[in-house]
Amino acid sequence: MGNTVSIILAAGKGTRMKSQIPKVLHNICGQPMLCHVIRAAEKAGISRNIVVIGHGAETVRKAIDAGVEWVKQEEQLGTGHAVMQAGPLLSGVNGNVLVLCGDTPLITPDTLAGLIESHDRSGASVTVLTAVVDDPKGYGRILRNENGSVEGIVEHKDASSEQLNINEINTGIYCFNGQSLFSGLREISPANAQGEFYLTDVLAIIRKMGNSIGTVRIGDSLEVMGINDRVQLAEAERALRHRVLEELMVEGVTIIDPHNTYIDRDVSIGPDSIIYPGTIIEGRCQIGPNCRIGPYSRLSHVEVGHDSTIHNSVVAESVIGNSVTVGPFAYIRPGTVLRDDVKVGDFVEIKKSVIGQGSKVPHLSYVGDAEIGEQVNVGAGTITCNYDGSRKSKTVIGDKAFIGSNSNLVAPVNIGREAIVGAGSTVTKNVPEGALCVERSKQVVYPGWVARKTKKK
Ligand code: UD1
Ligand code: CA
């Protein structure tokens, strides 16, 4: 597709979204819908992609991390006017121009490649991607003559009652011969129901010049669905999610209930991993083989090795090693690293801490800003007191140390290698290697106290 350039139209406001956010930035499976369109073009082999922006132009430009060229359409005077804005960038360019819309996120690279291929093969001046739909309301209709060749496109608002019965619609995706496109654009006028410069008018002009219009009819009209409101946004999300899950299943991942599993597009999962229901895996996540994730877990931007289990837990921006167990009911917060064979059990919160290989934090603990060595046992109810009201401080625990239950480790504090902290201690001073630290009042026992007390009454 070396001689094809794309122009992606994304300047419209998207009024029906009722949103402060530009329409093309609304997310579908973890990415702005514009990203999906750009990605489809790139995967179809198009290396030069020009995006026309207008409404919220700067916001859009900042939000999209892609190697595209940006063109601003100051006033939204119609799709034809939008394409014209890319004209100066393309002067002297010989070849195809693929026109796409930023609000059709379900379009696939295969469809685009097929459109370009058909265009090149037929020698037409433009090839339109069309679809036959049950409800053509709002779409431009494809006008064919008695021989079946395309004469033009009429917009819904400009159509006669007879034309409104046509159910073959313009998807808004075309492959143009670049020269025909730009010479046609010079001829269009806004003399229509919407007072806009319609890109669709270029087709009739091309026809009048004696050139031909090709069509490719798409089987699955869902793929070219334009997103105009939140209902369609949810519909597109469901369709794309289904695709993502299917790809993962084909790659060897078991997804117990695809209707109840939410995985973003930039997630990779190794074979023989099992994803249990109610699980959300979002952002850039990388999960190795043989893992068990869920039920009811949420992972965002997490890296997980192989053979690890995360159940009923929330994990964000963290790295989890191999053969690690997390949960049920754990909360792993950003900046955490759990090395291989770590066990984090129920009702444990860990923040910005490194837990060394084979260490265990099995129940009811808060570990924040800590560096824990290998094979450490952190007893139930242990708290790292990392915040004194103004500053955060660090707790460092050496290898094979044992922290008794219900201990408070008041940071900054170091617990040496193989040291033991007795249960219930509030540790405020460093504990040297191999030492026992007990910080609690001596136990007092009064024999027979209960009986004496009862007799008095
Ligand atoms: C357009 C087509 C219609 C087709 C439909 C498919 C025209 C005149 N009509 O109609 O035949 O059936 O798409 O979805 O082309 N845009 C700009 N600048 C503008 C106007 C629009 O960048 O000045 C962008 C929008 O952001 C959007 C795309 O162009 O991404 C389509 O515009 P929209 O207003 O949605 O066109 P439709 O009325 O849907
Ligand atoms: Ca539209």
Supply the CATH number for residue 334's domain.
Answer: 2.160.10.10
Residue of the nearest CA to atom 35 in ligand 1? 12
> Six-digit token pair at 445?
């026992």
Q: Answer whether residue 239 is part of any domain.
A: no
User: CA separation (Å) from 345 to 103, 292, 363, 364?
Assistant: 44, 15, 5, 8
Is 125 a residue whose pLDDT tops 60?
yes
Residues 153 and 267 in one domain: no
Is 111 a residue whose pLDDT tops 80?
yes
Predicted local confidence at residue 317, as pLDDT: 98
Is 455 a residue whose pLDDT tops 90?
no
Predicted local confidence at residue 13, as pLDDT: 86
Is 2 a residue whose pLDDT tops 90?
no
Residues 71 and 149 in one domain: yes
Percent of the chain whose pLDDT exceeds 90: 97
Q: pLDDT, tens digit, for every residue of 427-437?
A: 999 999 999 99
Q: Cα torsion at 426, 431, 437, 441 (round to 10°)?
A: -40
Residues 365 and 259 in one domain: yes
Expressed as residue numbers, the domain containing 133 is 4-224
Predicted local confidence at residue 457, as pLDDT: 61
Q: pLDDT, tens digit, for every residue of 278-318?
A: 999 999 999 999 999 999 999 999 999 999 999 999 999 99
Residues 219 and 261 in one domain: no
Residue of the nearest CA to atom 3 in ligand 1? 140
Supply the CATH number for residue 62's domain.
Answer: 3.90.550.10
Interval 359-385 mean pLDDT? 98
CA 132 to chain CA centroid, Å, is 31
Residues 214 and 285 in one domain: no
Q: Indicate which atom in ligand 1 lies nearest the CA of residue 169.
A: 12
Domain endpoint, select from 209, 224, 239: 224
**Which residue type, as a one-letter code, is found at position 366?**
Y
Q: pLDDT, tens digit, for every residue of 43-77?
A: 999 999 999 999 999 999 999 998 999 999 999 99
- Would the CB of 232 count as within 6 Å of ligand 1? no
Domain endpoint, select from 224, 240, 274: 224
Interval 238-257 mean pLDDT? 98
Residues 25 and 97 in one domain: yes
Give φ, ψ of 256 to 5 degrees: -60, -45
- Would the CB of 152 count as within 6 Å of ligand 1? no
What is the enclosing helix (H) or strand (E) of 253? none
**Which residue type, as a one-letter code, is found at position 219?**
G
Q: Indicate which atom in ligand 1 lies nearest the CA of residue 171.
A: 6
Residues 111 and 152 in one domain: yes
Is 28 a residue whose pLDDT tops 70?
yes
Q: pLDDT, tens digit, for every residue of 401-415?
A: 999 999 999 999 999
Residue of the nearest CA to atom 32 in ligand 1? 79
Domain endpoint, select from 224, 240, 268: 224
Gap between the terminal Cα atoms of the chain: 97
Interval 125-138 mean pLDDT? 96
Q: Answer whether residue 246 is part of any domain.
A: no
Give the C-alpha separation, 270 to 194, whole Å: 52
Enter the DSSP assignment of 346. Answer: E
Residues 150 and 210 in one domain: yes
Per-residue pLDDT band for 195 (boundaries 50, 70, 90) equals very high
Residue of the nearest CA to atom 36 in ligand 1? 79
Residue of the nearest CA to atom 26 in ligand 1? 12
Q: Answer whether residue 62 is part of any domain.
A: yes
Residues 45 and 193 in one domain: yes
Q: Answer whether residue 455 is part of any domain.
A: no
Is 1 a residue whose pLDDT tops 60?
no
Enter the DSSP assignment of 19. Answer: -
Q: Indicate which atom in ligand 1 lies nearest the CA of residue 103.
A: 30
Q: Is the dihedral of CA 103, 107, 112, 113 positive or negative?
A: positive
Q: Answer whether residue 446 is part of any domain.
A: no
Query: 3-state SS string over 124-166?
Result: CCEEEEEEECCCCCCCCEEEECCCCCEEEEECHHHCCCCHHHC
Helix axis angle for 109-122 and 33-43, nearest 10°, is 50
Residues 211 and 271 in one domain: no
Closest-approaching ligand to the CA atom of 8? 1
Residues 125 and 264 in one domain: no
Ligand 1 centroid to residue 12 C-alpha, Å: 8
Closest-CA residue to 244 (of 226, 266, 260): 266
Is 94 a residue whose pLDDT tops 90?
no
Closest-CA residue to 106 (of 204, 239, 8): 239
Largest CA distance in the chain: 116
Predicted local confidence at residue 192, as pLDDT: 95
Positions marked active-site: 363
Q: Answer whether residue 244 is part of any domain.
A: no
- Would the CB of 17 count as within 6 Å of ligand 1? no
Give φ, ψ of 176 to 5 degrees: -105, 150
- By DSSP bridging, strand 27-28 and strand 31-32 are antiparallel
**How many Cβ atoms are within 10 Å of 15's Cβ, its own excluded?**
11
- Would the CB of 199 count as within 6 Å of ligand 1? yes
Task: Tell me: cis bond preceding 412? Omega within 30 of 0 counts.
Answer: yes
Pocket test for ligand 1, best of 16, 55, 73, 79 (most atoms within 8 A of CB): 79
Q: How many helices (H) and strands (E) does the chain have?
A: 9, 41
Predicted local confidence at residue 253, as pLDDT: 98
Q: Answer whether residue 457 is part of any domain.
A: no
Residues 131 and 38 in one domain: yes
What is the enclosing helix (H) or strand (E) of 354? strand 354-355
Q: Answer whether residue 43 is part of any domain.
A: yes
Closest-CA residue to 104 (of 122, 80, 77, 131): 131
CA 294 to chain CA centroid, Å, is 19
Q: pLDDT, tens digit, for every residue of 141-153?
A: 999 999 999 999 9
Contact 283, 300 (CB under 8 A): yes
Give the C-alpha separation, 281 to 286, whole Å: 10
Give the count of domains, the chain.
2
